Structure formats: C-alpha cells, structure tokens
Amino acid sequence: MCGITGWISYDHDLTARRPVLEAMTATMACRGPDAGGTWLAPHAALGHRRLAVIDPEGGAQPMAVEQDGRTLVVTTYSGEVYNYRELRAELAGLGHTFRTGSDTEVVLHAYLQWGEAFAGRLNGMYAFALWDPRTEQLLLVRDRMGIKPLFYRPTRDGVLFGSEPKAVHAHPDVRPAVDAEGLAELITFTKTPGHAVYKDLYEVRPGHLVRVDRTGVHSRCYWALEAREHTDDLDTTVARVRDLLDDIVARQLIADVPLCTLLSGGLDSSAITALAAGALAGQGRGPVRSFAVDFTGYTENFTPDDLRGTPDGPYAHALAAHVGADHRDIVLDTAALMDRSHRAAVLTARDLPNGFGDGDTSLYLLFKAVREQSTVALSGESADEVFGGYRWFHDPAAVGADTFPWIAAGLSGRFSGGDAVREALLDRTLLATLDLPGYERRRYREALAEVPYLDGDTGHQRRMREVSYLHLTRFVQILLDRKDRASMAVGLEVRVPFCDHRLVEYVFNTPWAMKTFDGREKSLLRAAVRDVLPDAVADRVKSPYPSTQDPGYTEALRAELRELAADRTAPVRPLLDAGALAEATADGARQAIRPGAELALGLDAWLRTTGTTLEL
C-alpha cells in the first residue's frame, strides 16, 4: 500500500534539502514498513515508504521511466490498480515496454500514453504524485471514492503533500494550527470533501486530480456520480450486481503476500468472505483466512439496543463454518481498550481526536493482530452506503429531516456505545462561537447542491437519491479514513470491494423501490449473494461495528476525567465546561458520559502531543 510525501519548490534548489525530505518520509514508515526511498531534482523532492504487496522484488519507489538517459516521469505511489494487467497488455500493444511486474510502472506508462486522461482508466484505490520533468508539473491523483488519503498544503512557490497530515507537518516551515471552522469540522459528524481540519491544509477530493505548476495549484474533477436511467428489470439487476461482485472480489484477491478477510458475521463481510472463499478454492489457493473482533464476555452478556440487536460472534462462526474458513477471533478486554499506549497509537495514526472512541482502539488492535498473519485484508466496508443498509435510511423522520440523516438519527453518541452527545463537556461559550448546528446546515446545503437528478426523480425517489448521494460522498469518507489510518498504522492493506466505482455507479442509479424490493435493507445485495450464505446470516438485521458493553470501560473513562479535572494545566481545560466536568466526575455520578469523555480526553492528548495551536 505505502505512504507518500513530497515537496515542490520553483524558487529553491531542493537537492540540498534531503534531510527535510527524509524527515517527512520517516513519518510514513508505519504505512510502508518494508522499504523507503527518495528522489530529488532541483524543484521536486519525492519520498516513499513501501508496503510490498505486488512484485516485492521489482516495485521499489520512487519509480521513474527514463529514455535516452533523461527522466520522462517519476512517481511516488500508494495503492492498488486492480485492472493493471489489462492496462499493461493494452500499453504493450501500443509499444510500451516494462521492466517490472508492478502496477506502479503501469500507472507511469498510462500517464505517458494518455496524459491526464489516464486517471479515468484506472480501477482501484490509490493516491499518488507524478512529477513530469519535461513540463515541471506535479499531478496529485486520488481514487474515485477516496479510499486512500492524500493531503496537500500550497506554499508561496509550490506545494507540500503527503498521505497523512503528519508528513506535511514534519516540514520545518509548517506549524499545525486549527481555527474555528476546523474545530467545527472535527467535532461535528460531517466530512466535507477537501477539508482537512488543519488550517491551510487540504485533501485532494475523491475523483479529483490536482495539478501544480508555476502558476499555482489547480484542482480538476475526473469522476463524479452521475444520474443515469436504470433500464434493467429486477432479475437482471440482481444478476448484474452478482456479476460485478464476482469480478471485483476476484480482482482484489491478487496479491503476492498473505491475504485474509475481515468477518463480522453481517451480510456485507459475509458476502465478501464467501465470494473470496469460492474464488480462492477455484484457484487452488484456499481456504480463506478470516478474522473478527470480539470483547471478553460480550456474547454471553450481550444487551440489545436500537442499533445492535445481536452479537457478531455466532454469525461470524456460522459463516466461517459454512465456507470452511480458517477463522480466528481477536478478543479484547477493557484493559486493552484503556491502555494509554494503544490510544496514543490511534491518535498518532489518525492525526486528530475525531473518531469512534473504543471503536477506534479496538479496530487498531484488531488490525495489529491480523497483521501478524496477513498483509492484505478484504473488508465489507461501504456496502451500507451503496445499498442503503443503515437503519436511518428506513426511518421516515431521519430521511425527512433537513440535515444529514445520520445526524438526525443521533448517531454521534450512539455509534460509540453511548446515548449522550459528543459535545456534552464542551464550554458553552465555545459552542456558541463554533455554532455547530449552523456549520452542519451549511455543509448539508453544499452537499445537496451537488446531487445529480433525472427528470423523473420526484417525491420519495428524489429524496432517496439525495440520501444515497450524501452517504456516498460524505458519510463513507468518515469510515474509509478511519479504516485506512487504523490499518496502515500497522502496515496492513485493507481493500474495500464495495467501493468499486462500477458497482457504486450501477446501484446509485437503481430505483429505491428496487433496492428495497423485499421490504428490507440491502435487498439487492441479499438477493445477489444468498446462495453462498447460510440463511441465518443472509437474514440477519444490520448491526454496526461492535462497541464494548463492559460498564468498567465507562468507569475507567470517568477515572481519567477526574485526573483531567484535577490538572489545571491540561491544555483542553479552556475548551471544557467546568460545571459539566464537575457533574460528570462527581462521586456517585452515573450519567452517560462515554462520547463526551472520549472526545475531551482525545482533545487533551492531541493538544499535548502534536504541538497544534488553536486559533479561535
């Protein structure tokens, strides 16, 4: 997978700045534990850390194409292009020759053949930089769905960029700062495309490329969701979904390193695991290896709530037995979730204290254990956004609300196992300054203005197209970034088959009535894969990623809050409401505090360790 970084400066000679480039590159070592490299020219410096997945021997980076002793193009590349074999064959037919078996080299030659139009030919998850010495232009390119992150910071004479903010922040001229808008973006459950929270830092938007030249920084969209008429009947639609999934999973099983699946026992991960098991068996590569996260005593003491009606364990085991998977549960306890070194690792991975509380820590620990046996994992992430799986898709109040449906459904606290709001402990004057409801409204209006429609989209169909678009361009970004950071923190590549743009485009344009033809969530997916699943798994009601129900976890949070309350020098104290903090930490206090406590503690650790200043 890899981590990338670099520096373009048109007014300075960067060949003398190797130590700076090496420092920026070193911050990406977790993303690329296998090797590292740098490439410098007078106005371009590229750094790379490699996680070897395809062609481990020949895929070293940065990689260049040379002709007659001069460099035509060089790249620092992160990701996988799943159709690289077809592209390689096409390019070879056009006269290109290759010296490695890597997809990186195919990307370089695709650029030389088709120029900027090459991005539209790639199928995969990727974020990379291409420097063309002939024109002295840099291209930053990000995949259509934003699976792989890529950040940049314009400078007076060029740009700094990296897979994660920490790479840019390692430059000696950069001091990380967050203003009021950035803090609102961090606290609210929104994800604004291109917004990176940090002041003067931006994300390359999904489906965009950014060109940097002597005239400045220019962004261009090469892919976006479009409204197209759906002419297939139901049976044809179900068959098409299955054909796409078969092809997608087969492509994403290509790897020269050990591979596995992440299996929760839900419909999404079970479908991927079952299809992978069949494909691997057909290739003589089985059985499929699978992993699930669990908590000590979780299944035995499980209490249903309005988000999670059943524990994952029994369903994951049923699917594993059904397909003959080599399955392992990663069982965590409260001590592991509260371990400060684990939470510090999560904060370092994410660069921000914005997440899902114990869900982030457990995901990191799951991936750390998986990495001991596999380098690549296939995930069921994003099926809910594609097929309409979340409960609020089917809640008239949430669908009809004049805001993001997940916010209307109160997700910000409940997803992380609590029933309180995340901002419960924040200072009331600060909240008035940030105006979080107003920020959410503004971002919601911006998102709605982008939605493509057909002339026939009216009533409920029109609204559900909007809801689908909001999830595919906003909500999914929250989860993809979370998964990428937690996995790459331990050098694990996680692939997300449901983000294949062909599937996303097709299902986005399928009428909502067809997506719910059996009166349930994810009707099309269930129908497309039922034949490879046990009935209990196929019929299981959606249950989100698990969160510990151990009451000891909440009390451990409260104990840490008491330490924070006693520390008058804590950097987060000016952001907190003294009365709310006292009430939450009082002897005998029993109110729900999890989301608020996790945010307060996370903000404090972030301000202590990153050197970030708040400009409010």
Structure token digits, residue 199: 């002041």
CA distance 247 to 500: 10
CA distance 61 to 5: 12
Who contacts 578 (Cβ-Cβ below 8 Å, separation ≥6)? Answer: none
Residue 562 to residues 416, 501, 592, 607, Cα–Cα distance (Å): 21, 48, 15, 18
With contact defined as beta carbons under 8 Å apart, do 113 and 171 qualify?
no
Torsion of the alpha carbons at 396, 401, 406 and 412, rounded to the nearest 10 = -120
Strand 202-203 versus strand 208-213 pairing type: unpaired
CA distance 616 to 604: 16
Question: Which residue(s) pair with 212 in the sheet?
Answer: 138, 217
Task: State whether residue 46 is helix, strand or coil.
Answer: strand
Structure token digits, residue 401: 């609300």
The closest alpha carbon to 388, from 531, 526, 502, 262, belongs to: 526
CA distance 606 to 616: 16
**Side-chain-facing half-sphere of 136: CA atoms under 13 Å:** 13
The closest alpha carbon to 437, from 404, 465, 486, belongs to: 404
Who contacts 422 (Cβ-Cβ below 8 Å, separation ≥6)? Answer: 187, 189, 412, 413, 595, 596, 598, 599
Catalytic residue positions, numbered: 2
CA distance 40 to 268: 44
Who contacts 593 (Cβ-Cβ below 8 Å, separation ≥6)? Answer: 418, 420, 424, 425, 554, 557, 558, 561, 584
Strand 202-203 versus strand 216-221 pairing type: unpaired
